[in-house]
Amino acid sequence: MCGIIGYIGSRNAIPILINGLKKLEYRGYDSAGISFLTGSQLGVRRCAGKIRELEGFIQKEKLKSTIGVGHTRWATHGKPSEENAHPHRAGGIVVVHNGIIENYFELREGMKKEGHRFTSETDTEVICHLILTYTQKGLSLEEATKEALKHLEGAYALGIMSEAEPDRILAVKNDSPLVVGLGEGEHFIASDIPAFLKYTRDVMILENGDIASVSRSGVSVWNMHAGKKVNRKVEQITWSPAMAEKAGFRHFMLKEIFEQPRAIADTIRGRISLEQGDVNLSEFSLKGGDLKKLNKIYLVACGTSWHAALVGKYMIEDMVRVPCDVDIASEFRYRKPIIPKGSLMIVITQSGETADTLAAQREARRLGARVLTICNVVGSTSSREADGVFYTHSGPEIGVASTKAFTTQLTALYIFSVALARARGRLGASEAQDLFHELLQLPEKVKAALECNDAVKKIARKYCRVRDFLYLGRGINYPIALEGALKLKEISYIHAEGYPAGEMKHGPIALIDNNMPVLAVAPDDNVLEKILSNMEEVKSRGGTLIAVANEGNTKVATRATDAVYMPRTNYYLTPVIMSIPIHLLAYHIAVLRKCNVDQPRNLAKSVTVE
């Protein structure tokens, strides 16, 4: 997830671009850049770091221009550095890009053979070179862009400028957001409305396949799929600037919960081949041969990432039949672990900077294990020090409570489990294809699951004043009970515990009375009957039951006082779906208790101290 801004008009574009980038910084902040035209001469200024670094860097130059594009980056391909920062340039063409070009590697290799010289590690640079190739054949910028787009696979929003046509910006949208702001004799393009809300409230929302040609006098839109010019509605935005920053959501946490369909789709993108039932292993830097030799896996993480690790154990042991140990990172390093030859440590970390996780990762390497990190931040310490990286591509997570990072970690673990199972001959191509079919439906199912928001809010109103909460789960969904309890503690300050439901009778059942709600995570899986009995045990002792179950499950309905029903998916992916109402419940309870949802007391987003 990156941020794009563009301006064309009569004012100086430079401060407009910088202000816009500051508003988009929540979308990415590892490097930034702008490009502008002075007459028909393109200038590019970029640097690693935050927007204020870019601002400081260009301030001395007193730059002036009435047309330009800018970009704030959240790295997906290539580390955060000046060379990889956008805008990218080839000849007289510059491009800013948000999204992922899945086939960039093949395109780049092909163009290298034709003599193109690449200066970055990004997927974006191929777009400039492709457009340049077609302009050199005599096509206009718009026609050249149309030809170039035919080669691209993946998701993208683009801002494009050309020295040869200094009076227009092209805005292209395909599966990544892009909007056009309409002013008097001036126009804007941006990934998100807050970037230009200060200047105009009239917004044109582009649709997939749109190429908007934006000039001072107007905007015309061509749609690639329709193969013709189209009219797009102009809407008046009534949000306040603060609301707009969170895309109209009240908090970053809620925004991030609702971003999950996109985040999961981006995590899957380019990783699997449905036709062959195979996983693309190239970016893990672990080869099929390495995977065959593994005989032990350690999953290590902290907090919510540790819950993902627990789910990962169920996935890997079930699909791959390799023994897995799961450790809390701060425990691993002090327990004198025995690491046999052929061990792999899978580190799971959103930030890639958690001190305890890094210490465990270093200890494992010292003891001879190879390390794969499942990480959300490109270029983070964990990713730099690992033997292989699986980036989750969920975009920056601003809310301290981890939500989309968690479900994308689960998605990554699912893909990695299939890769491992295929490499070791535990899964045939057709079984992998079945698993992929289900995976590809996951973004849509998560979208459907999010429809429970109003029902969950009602439940939150009923229980938001309690002092204690108990969460129960079994099997692969036991970690989801832990996750529910952690989220509630973290943002609402209600005491909560997560328990494997079968353990209730060994102690915690003594706590049950009508003051403590018990939430059961009860999807239709191999332990449904077991958890139904555990629910009976709670009910018969006067406990109040809330259930999270699958659509049409009447057995759960008769036992629970309140229930929410989720779409069905396969066994391994139920934790992704079940975590949607769990996260929403914690969120709504915290809001009702007037807690600081995005920045809970005593907590930091990234815990970089032991």
As annotated, the active-site residues are 2, 605
- Single out the residue of 414, 403, 478 nearest to residue 441, CA to CA: 414
- Based on the shown chain and the rule CB under 6 A, indicate whether residue 606 belongs to the binding site for ligand M6R: yes
Q: Which of 304, 373, 408, 411 binds ligand M6R (CB under 6 A)?
A: 304
93, 134 contact by CB (below 8 A): no
* Backbone φ, ψ for residue 479 (5° rounding): -60, -25
Comparison of 190 and 311: residue with beta carbon closer to ligand M6R = 311
Query: At 67, phi and psi to the nearest 5?
Result: -150, 135
Question: SS3 for 313?
Answer: helix
Q: How far is the CB of 375 from ligand M6R (least distance, A)?
A: 8
- Does 302 contact ligand M6R by CB under 6 A? yes
Residue nearest to ligand M6R (CB): 303
Is residue 392 at the binding interface for ligand M6R, with CB under 6 A as the rule? no
Residue selected from 139, 448, 466, 607 as contacting ligand M6R according to rule CB under 6 A: 607
162 or 409: whose CB is closer to ligand M6R? 409
Long-range Cβ contact pairs of 329-333 (< 8 A, separation 24 or more): 329/300, 329/301, 329/302, 329/354, 329/356, 329/357, 329/359, 329/360, 330/302, 330/356, 330/359, 330/360, 330/610, 332/298, 332/300, 332/360, 332/363, 332/364, 333/359, 333/360, 333/363
Beta carbon nearer to ligand M6R, 230 or 607: 607
**Tokens linked to 277:** 């039932």
State the binding string over 450-489 for ligand M6R (x if CB under 6 A, else -). Answer: ----------------------------------------
Q: Is the peptide bond before 523 cis (omega within 30 degrees of 0)?
A: no
Closest approach of ligand M6R to the CB of residue 352, in Å = 7
User: Where does this chain touch ligand M6R (CB under 6 A) — which range of 350-358, 415-423, 493-501, 591-599?
Assistant: 350-358
Nearer to ligand M6R by Cβ, of 200 and 350: the residue is 350
Decide: is 394 part of the binding site for ligand M6R (CB under 6 A).
no
Nearer to ligand M6R, 215 or 606 (CB): 606
Total residues in contact with ligand M6R, by rule CB under 6 A: 15
Q: What is the largest CA-CA distance in the chain?
A: 80
Tokens of residue 575, six digits = 């934790």
Return the DSSP state at 352.
S
- Is 411 a residue that touches ligand M6R (CB under 6 A)? no
Residue 400 lies near ligand M6R (rule: CB under 6 A): yes
Residue (of 529, 578, 579) closest to 555 by Cα position? 529
Place of tokens 């500051």: 22
CA distance 180 to 188: 6
Among 402, 417, 433, 574, binds ligand M6R (CB under 6 A): 402
CB 120 within 8 A of CB 88: yes
Distance in Å, CB of 430 to ligand M6R, minimum: 35
The verdict on 357 binding ligand M6R (CB under 6 A) reads yes
* Binder among 349, 383, 477, 553 for ligand M6R (CB under 6 A): 349
- Alpha carbon separation from 434 to 25, 152, 438, 476, 499 (Å, rounded): 39, 27, 7, 20, 32
Of 95 and 485, CB closest to ligand M6R: 485
Q: What is the 8-class DSSP label of residue 175?
A: B
Per rule CB under 6 A, is residue 350 in the interface with ligand M6R?
yes
Q: Specify the residue, 96 or 311, whose C-beta has the smaller distance to ligand M6R.
A: 311
As beta bridge partners, residue 344 has: 297, 370
Least spacing, CB of residue 481 vs ligand M6R, in Å: 15
Mask for 484-523, x = binds ligand M6R (CB under 6 A): ------x---------------------------------
Q: Is 220 in the site for ligand M6R (CB under 6 A)?
A: no
- 256 is an interface residue for ligand M6R by CB under 6 A: no
Beta 154-162 vs 562-566: how paired, if at all? Answer: unpaired
Q: What type of residue sits at position 127?
A: I
Which residue, 527 or 582, is less far from ligand M6R as judged by CB?
Answer: 582
Burial 180-203 (b: 16+ CB within 10 A, else e): bbbbeebbbbbbbbbbbbebbbeb
Task: Compute the least distance from the CB of residue 491 to ligand M6R, in Å.
Answer: 8
Applying CB under 6 A, the span of 24-32, 303-311, 511-519, 572-580 interacting with ligand M6R comes to 303-311
Task: Return the residue matching tokens 């919960």.
Answer: 257
Q: Which stretch binds ligand M6R (CB under 6 A): 302-310, 544-552, 574-582, 588-596?
A: 302-310
Rounded CA separation 502/1 (Å): 41
Sheet (strand 228-230) strand order: 88-90, 93-101, 154-162, 165-174, 210-214, 219-223, 228-230
380 part of the interface to ligand M6R, by CB under 6 A: no
Name the residue nearer to ligand M6R (CB basis): 399 or 543. 399
Give the Cα separation of 525 and 521 in Å (integer). 11
**Cα pseudo-dihedral 532, 467, 303, 258, rounded to 10:** 80
The verdict on 351 binding ligand M6R (CB under 6 A) reads yes
Query: How near is the Cβ of 357 to ligand M6R at its closest, in Å?
Result: 5
Interaction of residue 359 with ligand M6R, rule CB under 6 A? no
Question: In this chain, which of 66, 76, 122, 305 binds ligand M6R, going by CB under 6 A?
Answer: 305
Q: Which stretch binds ligand M6R (CB under 6 A): 297-305, 507-515, 577-585, 586-594?
A: 297-305
Least distance in Å: CB of 473 to ligand M6R?
17
Residues of this chain that interact with ligand M6R (CB under 6 A) are: 302-305, 349-351, 354, 357, 400-402, 490, 606-607
